[in-house]
């Protein structure tokens, strides 16, 4: 059994304040015995305008937020999945929303770019156009960690089950979904989608969310959670900042996959 932590935050436009709060929560996770912690989407920064993120964008492998991730991992002896930070690759006009995974020595082990961008007009009038300020990622990414094989994704990706099916087929045992789900869509869809991804893939899901009112006026849903392969919610936090802890038991996962082998019953 290995303990993991989903970190819930209410990030603002104050980068230093966000990193200081995240650090307290990572320390709490480590002191509670976690081996790996996942920070939510936009953990380091939620600007007033969508374009504000361009000001804090870093180049892959270099920058204040990536250095901070490495230092925190070393200090607390944690693997950290850094929900998302804007990373601008050479020659590109727009950054990726990148999920950077560092090991407990502070070395980067994987990097995933959010594949599905949140371009929506919701019935109540809320509109989002992530593709104005972000480039879409092209590839699924799995990473082997001391906790198990993890399939990486970010927020809106949650709505695309084929990504997680691909991860299950690649041997992923844990699905990581750091998010900043809106209050409106979270209320309607978050819990059911998170549990569905766990049940249909017989995988653990770790889904840390942003949860509260942000300095830009935006409301996010919270309800960060860890779900086991049978769909049981092992831990959940509705609002505000905090740490959700859960124990991963890969023997139990294998038993579930053996007794209900729907992953090998697929016909398409």
Ligand X SMILES: NC(=O)CC(=O)C(=O)O
Q: Is 41 a catalytic residue?
A: yes
Q: How many CA atoms lie within 13 A of 102 on its CB side?
A: 25
Q: List the one residue from 48, 49, 107, 159 that touches ligand X (CB under 6 A).
A: 159
Site string for ligand X, 166-195 (x = CB under 6 A): --------------xxx--x----------
Copy the structure tokens of residue 198. 């766990």
Site for ligand X in 191-250 (CB under 6 A): none
Q: Choose one: 30-38, 101-109, 137-145, 151-159; the region binding ligand X (CB under 6 A).
A: 151-159
In whole angstroms, how large is the CA radius of gyration of the chain?
17
Sign, CA dihedral 151-152-158-163, equals: negative
| Residue 49 within binding range of ligand X, rule CB under 6 A | no
Among candidate residues 41, 58, 130, 173, the one labeled active-site is 41
- Across the strands, what pairs with 98? 85, 113
Q: How far is CA 164 from CA 29, 30, 53, 144, in A?
A: 26, 28, 28, 16
Site string for ligand X, 53-92 (x = CB under 6 A): ----------------------------------------
CB of 111 to ligand X, least distance (A): 18
Cα 237 from Cα 123, distance rounded (Å): 27
CB of 190 to ligand X, least distance (A): 8
Closest CA to 100 of 54, 128, 137, 55: 137
| Residue 155 within binding range of ligand X, rule CB under 6 A | yes
| Residue 34 within binding range of ligand X, rule CB under 6 A | no
DSSP state of 137: P
- Give the residues lining the site for ligand X (CB under 6 A): 118, 155-156, 159, 180-182, 185
């Amino acid at each position: 059994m290995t303990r993991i932590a989903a970190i819930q935050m209410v990030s603002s436009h104050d980068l230093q304040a966000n990193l200081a709060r995240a650090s307290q929560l990572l320390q709490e996770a480590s002191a509670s015995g976690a081996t790996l912690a996942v920070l939510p989407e936009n953990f380091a920064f939620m600007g007033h305008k969508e374009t504000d993120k361009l000001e804090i964008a870093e180049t892959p492998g270099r920058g204040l937020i990536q250095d901070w991730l490495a230092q925190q991992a070393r200090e607390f002896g944690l693997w950290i999945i850094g929900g998302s930070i804007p990373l601008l690759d050479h020659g590109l006009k727009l950054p990726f929303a990148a999920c950077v995974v560092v090991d407990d020595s502070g070395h980067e082990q994987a990097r995933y770019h959010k594949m599905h961008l949140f371009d929506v007009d919701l019935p109540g009038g809320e509109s989002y156009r992530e593709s104005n300020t972000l480039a879409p990622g092209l590839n699924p990414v799995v990473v082997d960690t001391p906790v198990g094989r993890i399939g990486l994704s970010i927020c809106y990706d949650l709505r695309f089950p084929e990504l997680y099916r691909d991860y299950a087929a690649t041997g992923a045992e844990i699905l990581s979904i750091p998010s900043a789900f809106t209050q409106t869509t979270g209320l309607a869809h978050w819990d059911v989608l998170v549990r569905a991804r766990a049940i249909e893939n017989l995988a653990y899901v770790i889904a840390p969310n942003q949860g509260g009112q942000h300095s830009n006026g935006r409301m996010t849903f919270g309800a960060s959670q860890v779900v086991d392969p049978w769909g049981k919610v092992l831990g959940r936090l509705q609002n505000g900042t905090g740490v959700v802890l859960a124990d991963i038991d890969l023997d139990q996962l294998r038993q579930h996959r053996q007794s209900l082998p729907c992953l090998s019953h697929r016909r398409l």
